[in-house]
């Protein structure tokens, strides 16, 4: 299944690049800088061809693609730089997986369909992307706000001090 998915994505990229080339060439007189568009298209085409060749031959994949440890080292370097402006990042463990998960959660919060997120993440089966449906707290809160009973103010419940004291006495944590 993974090979079929990769071939489908590769075909989609090639068709998209061909369509973009036709649009740029056909409407070149409407663009302020058509050469820049063709240059960007050439770079994207080169990257697409390179990645298709790299993934078509698993044996040749390693030298052409960046290794995971090199990406992790680069992330560590940028994390140290970011700590200078945001000290709370010093205690965080930032990995490529964390960045992928964060991007998927942001896509979900922006309203992207779960199948689009699965495609973006490269998941073979949409069921492995279901966790993003369950983890989106903002969506849950919006759903709860829409489901409030009549006469109940919308938003989060704010307990009174008397209620918090009562709960503290129940748990014995005063």
Please list the rounded mean pLDDT of every run of 10 residues in the chain (174 residues).
Answer: 70 83 81 77 82 65 61 86 89 85 82 82 79 72 74 77 90 71
Spatial contact of 23 and 34, defined as CB atoms under 8 Å apart: no
Reported as a single tens digit per residue, the pLDDT across 103-130 is 888 888 788 888 888 888 877 778 888 7
Whether the model clears a pTM of 0.75, i.e. scores above it, the answer is no
Segments making up each domain of the chain, as ranges: 1-65, 67-146
CA distances from 57 to 8, 31, 137 (A): 16, 39, 41
Reported as a single tens digit per residue, the pLDDT across 69-87 is 778 888 888 899 999 998 9
């Amino acid at each position: 299944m993974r090979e079929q998915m990769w071939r489908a994505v590769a075909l989609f990229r090639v068709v998209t690049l061909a369509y973009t080339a036709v649009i740029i060439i056909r409407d070149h007189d409407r663009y302020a800088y058509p050469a820049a568009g063709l240059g960007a298209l050439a770079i994207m085409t080169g990257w697409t061809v390179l990645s298709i060749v790299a993934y078509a031959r698993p044996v040749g994949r390693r030298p052409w693609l960046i290794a995971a440890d090199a990406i992790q080292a680069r992330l560590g370097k940028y994390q140290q730089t970011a700590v200078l402006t945001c000290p709370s990042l010093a205690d965080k463990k930032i990995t490529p997986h964390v960045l992928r998960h964060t991007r998927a959660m942001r896509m979900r919060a922006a309203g992207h369909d779960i199948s689009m997120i699965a495609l973006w993440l490269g998941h073979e089966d949409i069921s492995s992307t279901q966790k993003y449906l369950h983890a989106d707290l903002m969506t849950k809160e919006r759903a709860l706000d829409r489901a409030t009973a009549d006469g109940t103010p919308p938003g989060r419940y704010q307990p009174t001090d008397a209620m918090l004291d009562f709960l503290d006495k129940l748990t014995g944590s005063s």
